[in-house]
Structure 1
Amino acid sequence: MRPLMIFAAGLGTRMRPLTDTRPKPLIPVGDRTLLDRAIALGRKAGAAPIVVNTHYLGGQIAAHLAGRDIAISDEPGTILDTGGGLRQALPLLGQGPVMTLNPDVVWTGPNPLAALNAAWREDMDALLMLVPLDRASGRQGAGDFSLDAAGRISRRGDFVYGGAQIIRPDRLAEIPDRVFSLNRLWDLLIAEGRAHGIAHSGGWCDVGYPQAIPLAERMLHG
């Protein structure tokens, strides 16, 4: 079993007006909320414990998760971004590499967390699930990464970060800021050749804005 952090603290500005009265992770896609879809992926991959961070309208997420054996890392003051949020949650996640998952994407095909676990090696410090840009439904903008023959990632290229990874959090302690993105840690690991990636073989849709919801629903029912 490996711990899982689900990032649910964001403001959801791209998803307005749907996020005016509820947090983005509680928006339904098909018959389930985005958050419930993320939790289901974690459960099926054997994740334990599962931790969800909260900030914007966090009380709604806490109520939604009540009684479900999921820990909450609340960020009541300043939102800490992904790096700061993960670092705050470490006491709940325990020691060693952790899985992280963005709930605002929808997947078909192999469980991305299970695939990451199967591909993880002890010589890795990060393993990111990537999606070829030409199969990244709902994506706005260019790609994020390239993959070399050894599976190491570098910045810019034809792969999109899919929002799922395994990462060693030890070096978060080297970053002095309280609020920061995991991009800061990725850059440290990329420079040392210790950040890797694998490509998702199924469908993927970025559900970051309202018009992407029907795209995701069509993919799920296709």
Structure 2
Amino acid sequence: MTQPPQAIMLFAAGFGTRMGPLTKNQPKPLIKVAGKPLIDHALQHVNDLSPRRVVANLHYHADQLESHLVPKGVLLSMEKPEILETGGGLRAALPLLDTDPVFTMNADAIWAGPNPLTLLQNSWDPQRMDALLMCVPIGQTIGHAGPGDFTADDDGRITRGPGLVYGGVQILKTDGLQEFPQKAFSLNLLWNRMHDQRRLFALEYPGRWCDVGRPEGIALAEALLADV
């Protein structure tokens, strides 16, 4: 049996500008949904897997997140003085993660259904895949505008196009991160290379998913959780 990833990277460094005044004095991962910080909803899924290491990158209001996460056993990758984006942030955190491949997870979405991390773990095939993204059919998303990010073929290989929304959770091989000269860069650059090598895949989520990137997403997410 293929060894599943043993570490998870939580992306928590962003400014949360789309949240407006809600993130003036606190980071977006600490905004509460149904009485619990967004990042704790993510950690609930993480804890079901009991990974060896959980790492979060911090930048904006890092002190608040540090106080919240250290007691939970989360290792911290501080991004100073500048923020490194997803690709640069993951590369900087590799010494703490200490494994390859890894899970990565955004902390600004609510999942209603099976644990997306478990589903990815069960479908991961490193012989064929360099990345496996959890994507949500557009009709099962809440609070998301737009036609989607990817289109999948019958084998689950994906290209840019409408139909599937990237939900912010994936398994990713990290060796390609060393190929980029810039310090701050998006994981989209690595995905593009994987796509060209026909090694970028998606798994379709069977439940519902809510984007909590804007203030109105909070009420939508709370309604979704109340309906579970």
The alpha carbon displacement at 1:46 in A equals 2.5
Give CA-to-partner distance per residue, 1:52-73, whole Å, 9 cap, x none: 1000000000011132211000
1:182-218 CA-partner distances (Å, limit 9, x unpaired)? 0000000011100110111111000000011000000
Distance 1:24 1:135 in 2: 24
Match of 2:64 in 1: 60
Q: What residue number does 2:108 align with?
A: 104
Gaps of 5+ in 2: none
- CA distance in 2 between counterparts of 1:69 and 1:161 reads 28
Matches of 1:14 and 1:175, distance apart in 2: 28
Equivalent residue for 2:47?
Answer: 43
The one of 6, 10, 22 equivalent to 1:6 is 10
Q: Counterparts of 1:96 and 1:178 in 2: how far apart (Å)?
A: 20
| Alignment partner of 2:176 out of 171, 175, 184 | 171
- 1:115: which partner in 2? 119
Alpha-carbon distance in 1 for matches of 2:81, 2:101: 27
1:180 and 2:181 equivalent?
no
Larger mean Cα displacement after TM superposition, 135-144 or 54-63: 135-144
Letter in 1 for 2:189: R
Q: CA deviation at 1:135?
A: 1.5
CA distance in 1, matches of 2:117, 2:99: 18
Q: Aligned partners of 1:98 and 1:207: how far apart in 2?
A: 24
Is contact 1:152-1:194 (8 Å) kept? yes
Q: Are the aligned partners of 2:6 and 2:99 in contact in 1 as well (CA < 8 Å)?
A: no
Structure 2 length-normalised TM: 0.95
Mapped partners of 2:37, 2:104: distance in 1:
18
Name the stretch that deviates more: 79-88 or 130-139.
130-139
> What's the counterpart of residue 195 of structure 1?
200
Percent identity for Structure 1 against Structure 2: 46
Unmatched 5+ stretches in structure 1: none
> In the alignment, is the contact (CA less than 8 A) between 1:45 and 1:111 conserved in 2?
no
RMSD value, Cα: 0.9
* 1:40 Cα offset (Å): 1.2
Farther-moved stretch of structure 1 (45-54 vs 154-163): 45-54
- Relative to structure 2, which stretch is displaced further, 133-142 or 155-164? 133-142
Matched, 1:125 2:148: no
Pairwise CA distance, 1:141: 2.1
Partner residue of 1:206 out of 183, 199, 211 = 211
1:162 maps to which residue? 167
2:148 is the alignment partner of 1:143: yes
Question: What is the TM-score with the length of structure 1 in the denominator?
Answer: 0.98
More displaced 10-residue stretch of structure 1: 50-59 or 37-46: 37-46
Aligned equivalents of 2:74, 2:122: Cα separation in 1: 24
Question: Amino acid of the residue matched to residue 3 of structure 1?
Answer: A
Task: List per-residue Cα deviations over 1:68-107 (Å, max 9, x = no partner).
Answer: 2110001021100000000000000012100000010000
